[in-house]
């Protein structure tokens, strides 16, 4: 993995793909910096994410952690999300920075997600149906499936306990930095 990173405030892309290499979500963001947990990328209000056939515009500021010591998840934290989403963790494979391009982070989406809503839905692991469907379609190796299922359970426990970096204070400091940049775009 490359040690080269963007300068704080520089725009960049986080590009996801599926296990078979096909395109998945890609989002524009701004590099915010790093702490003990890893690198933080912000997505201001009005910035876009897209995949083949679908796109959305960020309705609330959010930050994504590319962990320093893990390559099997990416943590996204929202502030003021219109559907009460606070945390969205994408279980992944090979989350990393591009070796050739410091403005690109990449990952393989592995379907399972840990989500924390600030309403009656609470914290739970979601998309098990997609996980089962894609494991058959793409032939996920059994050992990787077992590892990621265990990791999803571990992350869900940590989110429920609000252990750093899954606590509010850690991400809120990065969201404050993002908001201070004043990069919001009008919602269309």
CA distances to 20, 62, 101, 112 from 1, rounded to whole Å, are: 21, 25, 11, 24
**Structure token pair of residue 98:** 């591009």
What is the rounded average pLDDT of the residues 122-150?
Answer: 97
Using CA atoms, how far apart are residues 74 and 51, in angstroms rounded to an integer? 17
CB 148 within 8 A of CB 91: yes
**Residue 124 predicted with pLDDT over 80:** yes
pLDDT at 77: 98
15 beta partners:
26, 106
Residue with tokens 């609330």: 60
Cis ω on the peptide bond leading into residue 165 (within 30° of 0)? yes
pLDDT at 25: 96
pLDDT at 2: 56
What is the rounded average pLDDT of the residues 108-137?
Answer: 97
Using CA atoms, how far apart are residues 135 and 14, in angstroms rounded to an integer? 24
**Mean pLDDT for all residues in the chain:** 96
- pLDDT one-digit tens code per residue, 62-100: 999 999 999 999 999 999 999 999 999 999 999 999 999
Using CA atoms, how far apart are residues 127 and 54, in angstroms rounded to an integer? 18
pTM confidence score: 0.96
pLDDT at 3: 74
């Amino acid at each position: 993995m490359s040690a080269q990173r963007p300068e704080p405030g520089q725009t960049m892309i986080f590009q996801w793909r599926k296990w078979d290499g096909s395109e998945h979500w890609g989002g524009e963001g701004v590099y915010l910096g790093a702490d003990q947990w890893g690198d933080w990328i912000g997505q201001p209000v009005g910035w876009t994410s897209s995949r083949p056939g679908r796109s959305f515009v960020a309705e609330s500021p959010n930050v994504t952690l590319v962990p320093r010591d893990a390559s099997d998840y990416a943590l996204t934290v929202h502030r003021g999300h219109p559907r009460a989403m606070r945390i969205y963790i994408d279980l992944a494979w090979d989350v990393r920075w591009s070796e050739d391009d410091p403005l690109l982070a990449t990952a393989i989406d592995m379907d399972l997600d840990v989500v924390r809503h600030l309403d009656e839905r609470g914290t739970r692991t979601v998309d098990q149906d997609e996980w089962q469907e894609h494991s058959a379609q793409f032939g996920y190796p059994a050992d990787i499936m077992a590892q990621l299922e265990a990791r999803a359970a571990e992350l869900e426990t940590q989110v429920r306990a609000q252990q750093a970096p899954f606590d509010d204070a850690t991400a809120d400091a990065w969201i404050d930095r993002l908001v201070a940049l004043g990069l919001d775009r009008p919602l269309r």
